[in-house]
Structure 1
Amino acid sequence: MQEAKPYVVTGRALLGEDLREEDVTITVSEGIVTSIEPASRTPGRWIVPAFFNAHTHLGDTVAMDLPARGSLADLVKPPNGLKHRILAATPRAELVRGMRASITAMIATGTTGFADFREGGPEGVAALREAAAGLDCRPVILGREGGEEVSDGAGISSVHDVANAEEIVREARAGGRLVAFHAGERNPDDIDDALAFEPDLLVHCTHATDAHLRRIVDMDIPVAVCPRSNWLLGVAASAARPPITRILELGGTLYLGTDNVMFVQPDMLREMAFAATIYRARPEEILRAAVSGARLAGASGYVEEGQKANFLVINPLKNNISFSKDIRATIVKRLDSSSICQTVLTMQ
């Protein structure tokens, strides 16, 4: 929720990008964390950074769990994949209602911002803005099919699927907007061509080679990985893909996303738990990946003095997580929406 007057909360907090655990009193004034002071006695509350879903396709909420068979291209490749045909046939009001329902579901599970590849051109962008209006969740809209010019940037499918990618990137750069590419989801063949455009974000990189990853890290390009989607769609079948461990070993910037609502619920709690289980990354690394995407919205995402307030207040006494000996691990592996008692947000 947006706070117009000073707000004070005391609890055990995860502070800064290093997620250090301290007992503190936090004061928020006019939407900014103005002070973080040590507290000697705290109630049984946790204060943790809210999540940012770094890759979504919310439009296909209207095709949720539709029985579907076929290759990745058959299902989601533009312009004639199954999802695109469904989107084209869906009335606008129903599309907006579906996207709003998914945003509401994200808020309930601790997500306060998301980056969406929005199909449907300018009308599609307008529909997502309508769906998000009045909700405490900051959308970063990456338009397609002409929607790039009226959104926060360009959300480009594989460079091999888009004939005018060079023109799209040039116009986005001229307008000071973001450029993001799907790359390496089915195979590594489109990664070099995407890197030639020096994008602000790469999505998937499921099949990136070590050489690709070194280039990506050297170019300081964040990678948004979507593990559950990759497994469900058959482009991953082991902890090697997407190469989460290697990205972290090389010092790369990792974001976490949930991808298509058609297949996967946009729930960062489930995504974190899956990633921690399959990829065995340290909990703090997974949690950072679920928070740091806020940079796409121009925010830190972390609980720090001088930053916009963007955190969750959790009541661990609502269930067995009050026995936790490692808050970071418990948030990543065990947290559910029933323990989230308040969201403090000023990212809008």
Structure 2
Amino acid sequence: MSEETCCGRALIGEDLEERCVEISVLNGIIHRIEEVRAAPEIWICPSFFNAHTHLGDTIAMDCPAKGDLTDLVTPPDGLKHRLLRAASHQSLTCGMHQSIERMISAGIHGFADFREGGTEGVTALKEAATGLPCRPVILGRDGGEAVADGAGISSVRDCPDVEGTVSRSRIAKKLVAFHAGERDRFDVDRALSYNPDLLIHMTHATDRQLRKAADQGIPIAVCPRSNWMLGVTDSRDHPPLRRMIDAGCRVLLGTDNVMFVEPDLFSEMAFTSMIYQIDPRVLLHAAIDGALLTGSSPYIKEGSAAEFLLINTHNTSLIHSQDMVTSIVRRVDRSVLSNTLIKQKKE
């Protein structure tokens, strides 16, 4: 069986240690990492995982929309839900497929999607992802959780049978995720009481609630651009990223509704770095660590899947960078990717 190699300045292991290396890939797995004295003008970075999407919203991209969070995205009759109900299966599936392709071109190898539309909605997303080198974690609703990877609950306020939904998912050993704290803090405590696998937003969570999430080991997917676009924040205090980090929370990055925001984690990192002034290394981890939802390590190390980005810095200003991580977070975009995934493991 043939072995493939690539060479460059790579971010190795969970510490993202910058080293000049040659990486050998065998059957989609990193077989060997060897130090080299000099490397070409290629940066090698773990690929990204978008920890929160609503890809079905692609069919409503940039439609004229006015109103608050309830008017626009709250089930069952927010604008997005009315548009989704009116969309044909073909247009819905085509739109999601194209958004997944856009994510792949921006270095995203996986995503966690809250999929509306019951079992038909989940089936549509599975169809949209078929044949693409991108691993979806699908969190269904309205019965769709039975054929998905778990339950994606809008809010404890919006789900008529939270107890039953969580119980059925736990019995089936599936994931449970909640939107919480997006509008205010008052749905967070009840969401925490179910000890979910993932919390989304926590935009208005209190310090006590953040400490509890950290103590329970529940990761939080934040979507700063979406929060700003939807008017649930106009301040760097929300979502409370610095307080999340200080509390010991594992923070993940998501992009939320394609209706409003491009599912691009380079843009999400750059925006979050500028507005919230968070350590770039923390933000890069947040763009990578959502892959832990799949049960596999996303980092570049021997024995891991060969899913990483090749960033071609040749003939770009990036060759002057004094800090590779900071430049990836603040300056890199899809235009300099020479490859997004080297190989996926063959089943």
Q: Same fold (TM over 0.5)?
A: yes
From 247, 272, 276, the counterpart of 1:275: 272
Contact 2:49 2:290 in 1 (8 A): yes
Is the Cα contact below 8 Å between 1:310 and 1:347 reproduced in 2?
no
Q: Map 1:239-318 to 2 at 5 A.
A: 239-318=236-315
**1:230 paired to 2:230:** no
Instruction: Report if aligned partners of 2:10, 2:20 keep a CA contact under 8 Å in 1.
Output: yes
C-alpha deviation, 1:82, in angstroms: 0.7
Q: Is 1:346 aligned with 2:344?
A: yes
- How many Å separate the matches in 1 of 2:99 and 2:345? 19
1:121 matched to which residue of 2?
118
Distance change >3 Å, CA 197–CA 347, structure 1 → 2? farther
Alignment partner, residue 217 of structure 2: 220
Matched, 1:104 2:101: yes
Paired residue type of 1:118? R
Distance in 2 between residues matched to 1:264 and 1:169, nearest whole Å: 29
Unaligned runs of 5+ in 1: none
Residues 297-318 of structure 1, C-alpha deviations (whole Å, 9 max, x = no match): 1221111111111101111114
- Please say if residues 138 and 347 of structure 1, whose CA atoms lie closer than 8 Å, have aligned partners that are also in contact: no
Is the counterpart of residue 49 in structure 1 residue 46 in structure 2?
yes
* Offset, 1:341: 0.2
| Matching residue within 167, 172, 185 for 2:164 | 167
Deviation at 1:51, TM superposition (A): 0.6
1:319 to 2:316 alignment: yes
Q: 334-343 or 84-93, which moves further after superposition? A: 334-343
Q: Any unmatched runs of 5+ in structure 2?
A: none
Q: Pairwise mapping of residues 128-139 of structure 1 onto structure 2 (< 5 A)?
A: 128-139=125-136
Q: Which residue of 1 aligns with 2:17?
A: 20
Say which is worse superposed, 309-318 or 84-93, in terms of deviation.
309-318
| Residue 141 (structure 1) aligned to one of 115, 119, 138 | 138
- Select which of 163, 185, 188 maps to 1:188: 185
Identity percentage over the alignment?
54
- Would you say the 8 A contact 2:27–2:345 is kept in 1? no
Letter in 1 for 2:54: H
Give distance in 1, aligned partners of 2:177 and 2:42.
37
Cα distance in 2 for partners of 1:56, 1:328 equals 24
Q: 1:336 & 1:292 partners in 2: Cα distance?
A: 19
CA displacement 1:124-148 (0-9 Å, x = unmatched): 0010011111111111100011000
1:318/1:131 CA distance change after superposition, 3 Å: farther
For the Cα contact (< 8 Å) 1:59–1:98, is it kept in 2?
Answer: yes
TM-score computed with the length of structure 2 as normaliser: 0.98
TM-score (norm 1): 0.97
CA distance in 2 between partners of 1:61 and 1:47 (Å): 30
C-alpha distance after superposition, 1:49-69 (max 9, x if no partner): 111000000001000011111
Distance 1:223 1:33 in 2: 29
- What is the DSSP-based 3-state SS (H/G/I as helix, E as strand, rest coil) of the residue aligned with 2:75? coil
User: What's the CA shift for 1:40?
Assistant: 1.0
Aligned residues: 345
CA–CA separation in structure 2 for the residues paired with 1:204 and 1:346: 30
Deviations 1:184-217 (A, max 9, x none): 0000000000011100000000000000000000
- Give distance in 1, aligned partners of 2:10 and 2:234: 36
Which residue number corresponds to residue 332 of structure 2? 335
For 2:345 and 2:237, the matched residues in 1 are separated by 34
> Displacement, 1:236?
1.0
